[in-house]
Structure 1
Amino acid sequence: MQENIRRIAPVSTAGLVPQRPATGMPICEHVDPTTLFVDPAYQRDIGERGIRQIRRIIERFDWAKFKPPICAYADVDGVTVLKVLDGQHTAIAAASSPFIGQIPIMIVEADDTIAQAKAFIGQNSERVGVTPLQLHYAALAAGDEDAKTLQSVCDKAGIKILRRPGQYDPAASRETIAVGVIKQLIARRGDKLSKEILEILANAERGPIKSEHIKAVEYLMTSPDHCEMFWPQDLTAAIVDLLTAAEEEADQLAMSRRWPLWKALATVWFRKCKKRRHVARHAA
């Protein structure tokens, strides 16, 4: 036996409580890839980047590099089908190749959409290339309470969470892909204040709402030196008045002061904002 290979050996489980599998072992089958289905409740659409990836797989297809898609049986309108939980790009590439009629797949137990979405999250939560947007919608389909709260806050604020990067409509407003920042915002500030912060940006009817925008408004709405100095609607008005000029000025300010962009943007917006709360307090 070669000296540079090693046998699989168990590691110590001291201090662990091993989990007994909740379902049976997966089974392996060979299927025609065109008989497989994808559920948009937790799977992203195939964009331009995905098409490029699929075309690369077709051009370089090699069984030695093939990873079987993970699937689950599902009932759709009384018909039993196989849904792809992980590996739709591989399945589409195989279906597109004139040299491949069947592929091996691994079938796991996941009886409904919620279980399938949870399986998808488990397969992809640590994988590079799977976006936070995709994981958010998968968690939403799985009934995750944090995902439902995040979606509810955005819905109430009038903000649409896109399903994938690059899906922005140049003519649209109230769109975002900043789910990670919004999730952190809700964890720090709660549902109510988070909605108020997001509403300030939504009501400005700007293009994509970016993470820097959210952080800047959060800072102004929570900083003791700023939060009592303006009404939220006046901050919205300042954002509308400045438009993209604010970000150009913030870029320069961030470089000169060595500040993060969100702090520079907050400073620019605050300078433009009417200081009504301050005036009203002293008038009383």
Structure 2
Amino acid sequence: MQDNIRQISPISIAGLDVGVPPTGMPIFELVYPTDLFVDPAYQRSIGEKGLTQIRRIVERFDWAKYKPPICAYSSVEGQTVLKVLDGQHTAIAAASNPNVSQIPVMIVEAEDTISQAQAFIGQNTDRLNVTTLQLHQAALSAANEDAQTLELVCKRAGVKVMRSPNSYSTTNGVVGARETIAVKSIEHLIGRRGTKLSRQILEVLANAERGPLTAPQIKAVEVLMTDSQYTDVITPEDLTSAIVDLLFTAEDEAKIFAATHKVPFWKALAITWFRKCKKRRQMPARVA
């Protein structure tokens, strides 16, 4: 036997809480790819990037490189169908290739949308090609409490979480007003500040209606509303007014300030807004 190959062997599981599979072992079946379905509740739609990937799979289709789509039986309007939980690009490529008739798929137990969305998350959590937005939408479909809390905080702040980066709407000539894709930043904000303060922070930006809420903007408002050297001299309403007055020039000024003073962009943006903001009392002797 060659010296450079290794046989699979178990590792030590001492001290581990060994998991017991909650569902039965998957089964494999040959199916026609056109008999498969996709649930938009947790699956992304196919964009141009996805179409490029599908075309590449069609051109280079090779069974040696094939990864079976993961599917689950589901009842839709009284009809039993197979939904693709992971691998819709592969399935579409197979359906598009005239040299491929049937494909093997792995079928797991996940009868309802919640369990299917949970399976999708489990399949994609550690994959770089699945975005935070897609995982968030899947978590919502899976009735994940953290995802539901995030949506509720945003809704109460008058902010809409978009399903994809390029789906901003235009209102009164402003693109992305009261909209955001900064899911991870909001998630971390809620973890640090709780739901009430997070909602108030998002409201400051939402009420300015200046465009999509970005991660640096959220971080900048957070520091202005939580650091005593700022909160003692400004109000959320005055901060919103300052953001409206400066519009997009604030970010240009912040970029210059960040480069000159070697500070993070979000901090430079906070300082830029603070300087414009109306002060309610005498400022501290020194503001960092």
Pairwise same-fold verdict (TM > 0.5)? yes
Runs (5+) with no aligned partner, structure 2? 284-288
Match of 1:255 in 2: 259
Q: What corresponds to 1:216 in structure 2?
A: 220
Instruction: Name the SS of the counterpart of 1:246 in structure 2.
Output: helix
Match of 1:179 among 179, 183, 201: 183
The SS at the match of 1:116 is helix
Corresponding residue for residue 282 of structure 1: none
Q: Report the equivalent of 2:60.
A: 60
Q: Which moved more, 1:228-237 or 1:148-157?
A: 228-237
Which shifted more, 112-121 or 165-174?
Answer: 165-174
| 5+ residue gaps, structure 1 | 280-284
Question: Mean alpha-carbon deviation: is it higher for 51-60 or for 121-130?
Answer: 51-60
Distance in 1, matches of 2:266 and 2:180, equals 16
Distance 2:52 2:9 in 1: 39
Query: 1:183 corresponds to which letter in structure 2?
Result: E
Aligned residue identity for 1:61: F
Query: What per-residue deviation string (whole Å, max 9, x for no partner) do you get for residues 221-263 of structure 1?
Result: 0011001212211111111111110000000000011110000
**In the alignment, which residue of structure 1 is the partner of 2:80?**
80
- Structure 1: distance between partners of 2:54 and 2:165: 18
Instruction: After superposition, give the CA deviation of every residue in 1:31-50 in whole Å (9 maximum; x if it has no partner).
Output: 11111111111111112211
1:106 aligned residue: 106
Residue 145, structure 1, aligned to residue 145, structure 2: yes
CA separation in 2, counterparts of 1:174 and 1:107? 41
Q: Secondary structure at the match of 1:276?
A: coil
The alignment status of 1:19 with 2:19, answered yes or no, reads yes
The answer to whether the 8 A contact 1:237-1:273 is kept is yes
TM-score, normalised via structure 1 length:
0.95
3-state SS in 1 of match to 2:229: coil
The percentage of counterpart residues that share the same residue type is 65
1:230 maps onto 2:255 in alignment? no
* DSSP 3-state at the match of 1:127: coil
TM-score norm. by structure 2 comes to: 0.94
Kindly provide the amino acid, as one letter, of the partner of residue 152 in structure 1.
Answer: L
Q: Quick one: distance in 2 between partners of 1:16 and 1:172?
A: 47
Q: CA deviation at 1:276?
A: 3.0
CA distance in 1, matches of 2:247, 2:97: 49
- Which residue is 2:245 aligned to? 241
Partner deviation per Cα, 1:145-187 (whole Å, 9 max, x = no partner): 1111001001111111111223334633111111111001001
Quick check: 164-173 or 115-124, which moved more? 164-173
CA drift of 1:277 comes to: 6.2
Kept after mapping to 2: 8 A contact 1:131/1:164: no
For 2:42, give the aligned amino acid: Y
Call closer, same or farther: CA 1:278–1:113 in 2, change over 3 Å.
Answer: farther
| Amino acid paired to 1:266 | A
Q: Could you list the runs of 4 or more consecutive aligned residues of structure 1 that deviate by over 6 angstroms after TM superposition?
A: none
Q: Distance in 2 between matches of 1:61 and 1:167?
A: 32
2:277 is the alignment partner of 1:268: no
Which 10-residue stretch deviates more, 103-112 or 232-241?
232-241
Please state if 1:166 is matched with 2:166: yes
